[in-house]
Structure 1
Amino acid sequence: MVAACCTGAVTNAVEAPAADPEPLTRRTRKRNERRDRVFAAAIELFTERGYDETSMDDVAARAGLARTTVFNHYSRKVLFLEDWAQRRRLRAARSFAERAPDAASVQDVLGTYLAALAALNEDSRAETAAIMPLALRYTDVMVDHPLGGDLAQLIVDSRARLRPGADPLWVGRLIALGYFSAVSRWITAEPPPFGLADELASLLDTVLIGALPR
């Protein structure tokens, strides 16, 4: 059974609501717009200058907002990295929802999601190269990253039959760790040393089918 960390996973994140959501108030829209400006400014600066070389004052200046406004949205610099990872997952989830095959095998479902992640990284390689190492260094990616829960929920939703003792959450975590390893190696050289989509497909085959011949 998938643990509580999987709540709000990729499939749930992109489900269409049962009814039209309440329109945002003007105040909420303005707050969201300011948060997006602050976030975009921080990621631009981390990519251009580096994380350690960027101060909250720099972020405020780039965003054209007061320093207190920046701290109202992000009280610590590391929160930009956590938000970056979450926004990446949401963008991949939306892309996955557009591509997701109907009545497909678990390998097809997971492969489609990993392909969406690969495309997202390929479309913004410079940003990925700058931010991914920071996210790995300063956040709890190696402990229990939500991506593992997203992948586990996809396995559960596919109703795939796993071998006895195989926990969907552990399978999801293995794939997530392999994903971070693949992206980390992919951003180390220019041009990229391998195709990211192909590498992730091979990773998925290894985890789901196994490394040993049968």
Structure 2
Amino acid sequence: MTWVEAIGWLGAALAITGSAMRTIIPLRCIGIATNVVSLSYASLMHLYPSMTVNLILLPLNGFRLYQMLRLIQKVKVASKSDLSMDWLKPFMSQSSVKAGEILFAKGDAANCMYYTLSGRFRLRELGIDLPQGRVVGEMGFLSPENRRTQTLECLESGDVLSITYDQVRQLYFQNPEFGFYFLRLTTERLFTNMERMESEIARLRSRAVNPATSEEAISA
């Protein structure tokens, strides 16, 4: 076997190895190595169709690898950073809300989430007042059949920004920073609700174990 034939067999082995790869970055790396070896072999053997194919695939594989590495870097930065909602505001629509108005009720079909600019709002079932600068309504995006899990009532007139779930989906897949912000936001809400539920269960158990003490506390 000559050294030229060895190069050809090496290119064939790399091509087979690349086909067995399951992850995209090693696949692109093997693809680049295959293109370089195959291009060298085709040049030595004057195989012009093969040369043309590898001349096209080599920069294409290199560009795709560069894109993937940049995306991974963005994701790493996004996972460690705090995201301000200011950049999201241009994608949202502003509206005024009057005191006593219900923005959404528990069980309603959910199609958007809100950001409170001014005024005061309350999640009725939980009895939680929301200050300015809070995102609300995102749980409907994750709930079964996109149904509201709480009722949002306006206590004092103010302004809110809203964004539809269709826009949220687009931003989620296009922007790693927003994707990680949304995951952190929903996870934080879920853990907060779990802690509240555990506290309520502990309180009810305490009353069940010491009913006399509870009655004395109530009468006092």
With the length of structure 2 as denominator, give the TM-score of the two structures.
0.24
Q: Which has the larger radius of gyration?
A: 2
Q: Larger helix proportion, structure 1 or 2?
A: 1
Higher relative contact order (CA 8 A, sep 6+): 1
Q: Larger strand proportion, structure 1 or 2?
A: 2
